[in-house]
Amino acid sequence: MAFEALSVRRSQASLRFPGEEALPPSRLFRALFEAVQSARLFPDSKTFADCTPRVDPAAILAAWEAERGDAGFDLAGFVAAHFMLPPASETGFMTVAGRDVPAHIDALWPLLERHAEAPAPGSSLLALAKPYVVPGGRFGEIYYWDSYFTMLGLVRSGREDLAAAMVENFAHLIETYGHVPNGNRSYYLTRSQPPFFALMVALIAGLRDHAETYRAYLPALEAEYAFWMAGAEDLAPGHAHRRAVRLADGAILNRYWDDRATPRDESWREDMETAEAAPGREPTQVWRDLRAAAESGWDFSSRWLKPGGGLETIRTTSIAPIDLNCLLLQLETTLGEAYGWAGETQAADAVKDAARRRRDAIHAHFWDPRQGAFGDLLWEEGRHTGVLSAATLFPLFLGFTTGGRARAVAAAVRRELLAPGGLVTTRVRSGEQWDEPNGWAPLQWIAVAGLTQYDEYALANEIARRWIAKVGHVYAATGKLMEKYDVVSEDLAAGGGEYPNQDGFGWTNGVTRELMARYPELGVVPLPAANLARTGG
């Protein structure tokens, strides 16, 4: 099938190498960037990547070359003189005693909102045309898949205007760069994140004229499809190109990828150390797999590791993930609908045919009968990874499976993934943040929405109840909504990964706000006055 005929007619430029226009700090400052990161001037590698040059980058580099050989050269002083640090992650927001969780969330949206402005020359920030919401904490930019779950809460809070503005921003990013980057930073331009744009369009279409909305966003939907399917048409069985793979039986699926194979700017030091801990592996392959896992949004998880191995065994590009392929099936389905509203019947028929083939491939290749659940596929080897994760619920969330398999997935989830505080991400304790004991807001929503679609109401209600209770317990003690939660124990803090747990927090706010509205009988949790002194943004 001619994928390009479906998706590149209005977006030929979208197949250029992403990120050529806006250099990331690692390429803009090169040796200076590496010196700063190697010297550990900042505890968080992301800090320097987000710094803003005080003068033209060329002038900074010239000063660096002229001064770095001087006796007593002070690197920290040089950086302080030539760069402005990113804003502090703490908002200083103080909640009030007696404020329940929904009211707290409604009060947080303005603090997490950012307005369109032109970034300073040399900044890693990419301009957006409309207001947007950031997750919070160290994440001071928009993030792709986070935003869908944030939008759920915005709509529930009566901020449909802001949700619509965010969709406009993503369409602008697609038009400008050919895809939605991981976030609006130059160092994110070579990768995306789980493709939720079609679901965002559907959410907005539910608030306004349906046909007009789909027609308006058709060019952006086409361009995103072109990005994910680039090179698919010419693949031989058993081969891959960027994000597209062709299995031995000819089925075309997708994987996560990144167009660079270098340490990530925001985790440069950590990626260097991971490659050093992987003897016998090419560092470029390690870095590519780390970056691909960052595109997955699950950075990091045992989903991407060899059994029992650490991060140095990461193999993301060898895996065709169940969630990604369901999201691309959703994109194909949405494209078919949009073409129909636009009166383009031939294109609609072609993309619907692609969707049928992908759906068949999902059921043929991702169903793991040993676990009674959907799993990830080692696409070159034609076998499952064996890791049961909450991603098994994506076919239910998007309505792409049968009643029988949905019941089997529900049984596996109840047996293996249901924890006291909601749904655990996996049952592997790897020390990575997308593994046990952590639970994440987007996966709770995917579970509840998916199980409800297939009449698994009891389990959906139980996950919602346990999640709301966990979030409420932490809020009552701290006045905060967190990025992630330890759903196995009663601990207030969750750990794992490359950085501390963050508060704010966009997608937790969105999902919890929506779940509390859908399950009002579960109640809300006010903040006790005794805990007010300990609260913050």
Distances (CA, A) of 247 to 3, 7, 55, 255, 525: 17, 22, 51, 12, 50
Q: Is 299 a catalytic residue?
A: yes
Chain-centre distance for alpha carbon 426: 17
Q: CB under 8 Å to 459, separation ≥6 — which residues?
A: 410, 413, 414, 418, 451
Residue 475 near residue 527, CB atoms below 8 Å: yes
By the 10 Å C-beta count (0-12 exposed, 13-18 middle, 19+ buried), 119 is classed as middle
- Measured from the Cβ of residue 55, the count of other Cβ atoms closer than 10 Å reads 14
3-class DSSP assignment, residue 358: helix
Distance in angstroms (rounded) separating the CA atoms of residues 58 and 52? 13
Q: Which one of 483, 486, 498, 503 is the catalytic residue?
A: 483
Tell me if 248 sits within 8 A of 382, measured CB to CB.
yes
Distance CA 444, CA 512 (A): 9
Report how far residue 328's alpha carbon sits from residue 313's, in angstroms, rounded to the nearest whole number.
27
**DSSP SS3 for 377:** strand
**Whether 131 contacts 114, CB under 8 Å:** yes
Helix residue ranges, H only, 241-282: 268-276
Q: Which two tokens stand for residue 112?
A: 């997490």
Rounded to 10 degrees, what is the CA torsion of 66, 69, 71, 73? 70
Amino acid occupying residue 129: A
Choose, from 299, 337, 486, 503, the residue flagged as catalytic.
Answer: 299
Rounded to whole angstroms, the Cα distance separating 197 from 347 reads 20
C-alpha span between 516 and 534 (Å, rounded): 24
Spatial separation of the C-alpha atoms in residues 233 and 4, rounded to whole Å: 8
Q: How many other CB atoms are found less than 10 A from the CB of residue 279?
A: 7
Active site residue 249: no
As a whole number of angstroms, the distance between CA 100 and CA 230 comes to 47
Return the active site residues: 299, 483
